[in-house]
Structure 1
Amino acid sequence: MTNDSQEKPTAMVFEVLKAAIIDGSAARLGRMALAGRRSVDTPNYLAVASRGVVPHMTPDNVGKYLHSGGVYMALEEVIERPQQYSKRQTPIYDTPTSHGRRPLHSFTAMPSDLMTVLSARRLPAVPSPMGNSNASISIFTSTGYQVLTTKEYQNAVETLRPDIAIPLADLTYGPITPTSKRALRMAERTDEWLKNWFADEDASADGPQQRDVAVFAPVLPVSYSIQWEYLERLSEELSTRIAGLAVYNPDVLLDLLSDYANLATLPRLSVSAVTTPHHILRQISLGFDAFVLPFINLVSDAGIAMTFTFPPSQTTPTLLPLGVDLSSPACKTSLAPLSPNCTCYACTAHHAAYVHHLLGAREMLGWTLLQTHNHTVVAAFFASVRAALAQGEEAFEGAAHQFALRYEPEFPAGTGERPRARGYQFKGEAGGEVKPKLNKPAWGKLDGEGGGLGLTRVRAKKGVAPAVAVAAAAVVVAGELVESDAEGGARLETPPVSDGVADVDAQELNSLPR
């Protein structure tokens, strides 16, 4: 069973290999094929790129060690806000191509066998203080917030030619649930934008070229009753033009599949907030075929090595952790691999103590090895899920139930320092409090307010010049200046001294060279 038809001139084909046959489960096996790319067996996942690259992995390592179905990219990460009176073109639009490579592949140096999925905003997106309009959305680029119109985004897709494009959707971000009036406007705008997308494609001279980009229609994160008219249009008028569905609300999928049979054969990409493998298994049961998983990057940044397997390989009286914090002192002398029976490069060539040392020294190689390992664990997880589905839905549901009973619900919180944080992780989040920095500051003030140097204010006795007190601080470079005692004399504490404290009185201070 395929989606391909003569009315839909797209290079993508999706085939359902095994559909669900039991009640209460819509899990299925499939295969997604794109011209010039390796076929992707589903269920599978997409790696999330940052600024056009998979974090901590160079393009050659992506080709060697990344076993995902493709890479998810955001347009806002590779464009910039145009400066006033500036005629400079965004570099990505002027990328030279050769040998038939698509511009997005050429600019990001992505391996030619990996598919690329392009969306307007990163996942998860930074909330914008500016709202969307009837013809544009607000995005957060490397140079600040910018308005992106529907026409500009469609022109970017025509120029960059990703394998899969997700058209603009009127979405809200942040913890606040949109009101019913706002949710209805989201559905109406998205409906209008998608209708205009295909109308402009038909009227464009580059229409045939754009049709080699598979379009995944967005399904909004609002209730089914609010967006049913939009879904009706997808089913009746646009089902032959779209190649798949990008679903932001997994709970809508069951109603969609029951009411619109012609949309049921399309591949379903989950772009919701999936944070653990427990969420992945639930959404596979709902019928999802592919997943965008930003939590892999977050877990790697936190210094966590994933250790879960599907189905669980151990029987223990307590819950098993989903990962191990490699910054823990227990890993300092551990010569074991990051995860038992793991075949990734990090586990076959190195051990936990080595990666612990790299993370403590803030060496880039530490996060590279950790990212390679975590992607391998997730790829093996999906391979085991597909093997269980091949045995039947009952085997899959039983293994998923055992997984829920054996593993903790969340990943452990990493205790080590993160790599240098990217700017968009902290900038300009509207309507929220300023988040504390993940890492301790490398430098601090001499009075101790910064906390980085551990130095506090020097107080000399009355009549002693401040410059003399500062000179006393310079005598013992490795020492720590502390507050004065009750009599006003400065004290100097130096770790190498056995008694730990050396009293410095006014006479000693006066004897120092000025």
Structure 2
Amino acid sequence: MSTEKAGAFSITARSACGARCGIVAVCGGSGALATPSCVVPTFRGVVPFLPPDVVGQVVAPLAGRAGTGPPAALLVQGDAIKVVPAGFDQGFAAFAALDGPVMAVVADPARYNMSGSRSKSSVTVETPAGRTSLDIAGYKALLAGLKADIVELLVDVPQPGAGTRRCAKALDNTTAMWEALAAADDRSAQGALVLARVTGGDAGSVVQQSVALVRKMAGAEVLGGVVGGVVVPDLRSVAADSVTAEGGYASGEAALAAVAAELPDSLLRVYEGVEQPHEIVAAVRDGKGDVFYGTYPTAAADLGYALELSLAHGQKQHVNLRDVSFAESQAPLVAGCPCYACEKHTRGYIHHLLVVHEMVGTELLMIHNHYVFQAFFADIREAIAAEAAGGAPFADIAAAFMAAS
């Protein structure tokens, strides 16, 4: 358990290649969030197909491994509007019976966010009841009710492919909102670690200005929380022709490398848009990301796939449980896996559940896939810590993983 104050991020181990382990001391009763880590996406605080009491049991086989505990929940701020009843002052985690930390972000990583009205005092957000405008006063009220452990500042996010003028306007709007939030005499995010997003879309020169703004905000107190983290979008779409007279990046990969190098080392880095295991390993190896969104295991379960994944052996072929060849299989879901789904159920049984559209089939795949992903990140943390203690270089482990996948 970290001894840092609530809302603090501290680095505990480094590898020679730039990979790092850390701890986020959260403000609730959920202990701490170990990094590298993935947060489990939710809809209004509920993990798809998994009741709150089951979510905590997913990682039960990992008990005793350093940094493992109830998984962190990813909450989209727009989905949480009007969820916590008025007068309930214990926060969203208590209301939704979540045992792990809660990270509240602006944009849903698994959903295309529609454009809407934007200004220097409000943005349009997606909610379960449609789009609505969220202004600074509404945002502060939302944070006060959520009492999340990690919160993202209100931000104008341009759509993919937006032009330079739209990206520049998004940065102007974001700057105005952040200045207003920093000036507000309010404690809505007290004790939370605050995230500032790099914005600018596909415009390299605007991204550079956004990074400069994030550097300026780092360490500042906003609504009672300290800006100690940054959301880095997937900038691989930044094209070579984004280099202008004002500056820019030669390519998307150059943009990502430059942004990672320009950000303060002390900031928690939430890497958005990177989902595939080999992409995650590469991002961790290069020090680009500390926290990732766990949309990959959810999407695989929705399609009927069971993941076979380990840092030591690479990513094997997914098991498609809808395939008719598994109709009479008495083999466990994945041999050797200690999760509940694998220990108690066969491939044939789960195949039957899927083909008759019984939701328990998807629920069992969700249990397995999320366990595998959490175990994968535990392997990454242990490998980085082992190198710091004189073990094998993480760069070699990462190279072997990507070669085997």
Q: Determine if contact 2:158/2:167 at 8 Å carries over to the other structure.
A: no
Query: Among 248, 256, 264, which residue is 2:233 paired with?
Result: 248
Structure with a larger share of its residues in strand? 2
Q: Displacement, 1:373? A: 0.3
1:45 paired residue among 15, 38, 44:
38
Inter-CA distance 371–296: structure 2 relative to 1 (3 Å threshold): same
Q: Could you tell me how far 1:33 is from its partner in structure 2?
A: 2.0
Offset of 1:346 from its aligned partner? 0.6
Mark the runs of 5 or more structure 2 residues left unpaired by the alignment: 60-68, 222-226, 236-252
CA–CA separation in structure 1 for the residues paired with 2:403 and 2:260: 29
Partner of 1:468: none
Equivalent pairs, count: 366
1:386 and 2:351 are equivalent in the alignment: no
1:141 corresponds to which of 127, 130, 133? 127
Larger radius of gyration: 1
**Code of the aligned partner of 1:125:** R
* TM superposition shift of 1:256: 3.8
Matched residue, 2:246: none
Residues 338-377 of structure 1 mapped to structure 2, 5 A cutoff: 338-377=333-372
**1:403 is paired with a residue of what secondary structure?**
helix
SS in 2 for 1:192: helix
Determine if contact 1:59/1:110 at 8 Å carries over to the other structure: yes
Q: Tell me which residue corresponds to 2:54.
A: 61
Per the alignment, residue 285 of structure 2 pairs with 285
Q: The residue matched to 2:309 in structure 1 has which SS?
A: coil
Equivalent in 178, 181, 184 of residue 194 of structure 1: 178
Partner residue in 2 for 1:396: 394
User: C-alpha distance in 2, partners of 1:259/1:276?
Assistant: 25
Contact 2:40–2:72 under 8 Å retained in 1:
yes
What are the Cα deviations for residues 314-354 of structure 1, in whole angstroms up to 9, with x where unaligned?
Answer: xxxxx941x11100012112222222321100111111111
- 1:93/1:180 Cα in 2 relative to 1: closer, same or farther (>3 Å)? same
RMSD: 2.5
Which residue pairs with 2:74 in the alignment? 72
* Cα shift readout 1:89-145 (whole Å, capped 9, x = no counterpart): x35242635xxxx3211332212xx10011233223333253423322222222222
Q: What is the CA-CA distance between 1:237 and the residue it aligns to?
A: 5.1
| 1:27 CA drift (Å) | 1.0
Q: Is the 8 A contact 1:307 1:340 kept in 2?
A: no
- 5+ residue gaps, structure 1, are 5-9, 80-89, 314-318, 408-514
* 1:134-186, Cα deviation, whole Å (9 max, x unpaired): 3222222222222222331222112221111101221133xx41212222222
SS at match of 1:264: coil
Q: Could you tell me whether the CA contact under 8 Å between 2:37 and 2:290 is conserved in 1?
A: yes
Trace 1:315-354 onto structure 2 (pairs within 5 A). 320-321=316-317, 323-354=318-349
CA 225–3 in structure 1, closer or farther in 2 if over 3 Å, else same:
farther
Aligned residue runs from structure 1 range 419-430, under 5 A: none
* Range 218-227 or range 332-341, more displaced: 218-227
Between the two structures, name the one with larger relative contact order (CA 8 Å, sep ≥ 6).
2
- Are the structure 2 counterparts of residues 226 and 213 from structure 1 closer, same or farther at C-alpha, using a change threshold of 3 Å? same
CA distance in 2, matches of 1:91, 1:269: 25
Where do 1:351-500 residues align within 5 Å?
351-392=346-387, 395-407=393-405
CA contact (8 A) 2:297 2:307 kept: no
TM-score between the two structures when normalised by the length of structure 2 = 0.83
Contact 1:46/1:68 (CA < 8 Å) preserved in 2?
A: no
Counterpart-to-counterpart distance in 2, 1:232 and 1:275: 27
The answer for the alignment partner of 2:66 in structure 1 is: none
Q: State the TM-score, normalized to the length of structure 1.
A: 0.66
Question: Is the 2:197–2:232 contact (alpha carbons within 8 Å) kept by the matching residues of 1?
Answer: yes
Report SS of the residue matched to 2:50: coil
CA distance in 1, matches of 2:373, 2:110: 19
> Quick check: 1:184 aligned with 2:187?
no
- Between the aligned partners of 2:129 and 2:33, the Cα distance in structure 1 is 36
